[in-house]
Structure 1
Amino acid sequence: MTTTGRSPAGDALTDLILTLFRANNLVLTWGDRLVAPFGLTSARWQILGAIALADRPQPVAWLARDLGSNRQNVQRIVNDLHKEGLVVFEPNPHHRRAQLVVLTARGQQAYEAALNAYNPTADAVGAEFSLDDIRTAQRLLTTLREKLQGEADGPD
Structure 2
Amino acid sequence: MSTEPSDLYAVLRRVRPLHLLSARAVTAALESEQLTLGVRALLEVLTDGGPAPVPAIGRTLSMPRQVIQRLVDQAHEQGLVTTRPNPAHRRSPLVDLTDRGRTTFDRVHEAELRNLAAIAADLDPADVATTVRVLDALVAGVTRITEESP
Q: Same fold (TM over 0.5)?
A: yes
Counterparts of 1:142 and 1:73, CA distance in 2: 24
The answer as to 2:63 corresponding to 1:69 is yes
Aligned to 2:34: 39
How far does residue 90 in structure 1 lie from its aligned partner after superposition?
A: 0.9
- For residues 1-150 of structure 1, what are the structure 2 equivalents within 5 Å? 9-54=4-49, 56-150=50-144
**SS in structure 1 opposite 2:94?**
strand
Aligned CA-pair RMSD: 2.0
Counterparts of 2:95 and 2:39, CA distance in 1: 13
Counterparts of 2:4 and 2:29, CA distance in 1: 36
Counterparts of 1:147 and 1:139, CA distance in 2: 12
Counterpart residue type for residue 142 of structure 2 = L
- How many residues of Structure 1 are paired with residues of Structure 2 in the alignment? 147
Counterparts of 1:9 and 1:72, CA distance in 2: 38
Give the greater-gyration-radius structure (CA). Answer: 1
Counterparts of 1:70 and 1:141, CA distance in 2: 22
CA deviations over 1:43-101 (Å, ceiling 9, x no partner) = 221110111121x4110111121223332222221111112111111111221211110
How far does residue 18 in structure 1 lie from its aligned partner after superposition?
A: 2.5
CA deviations over 1:104-155 (Å, ceiling 9, x no partner) = 1221121111022122222222112221221111111111111111222229
Q: 5+ residue gaps in structure 1?
A: 1-7
Quote the sequence identity (%): 27
Q: 5+ residue gaps in structure 2?
A: none
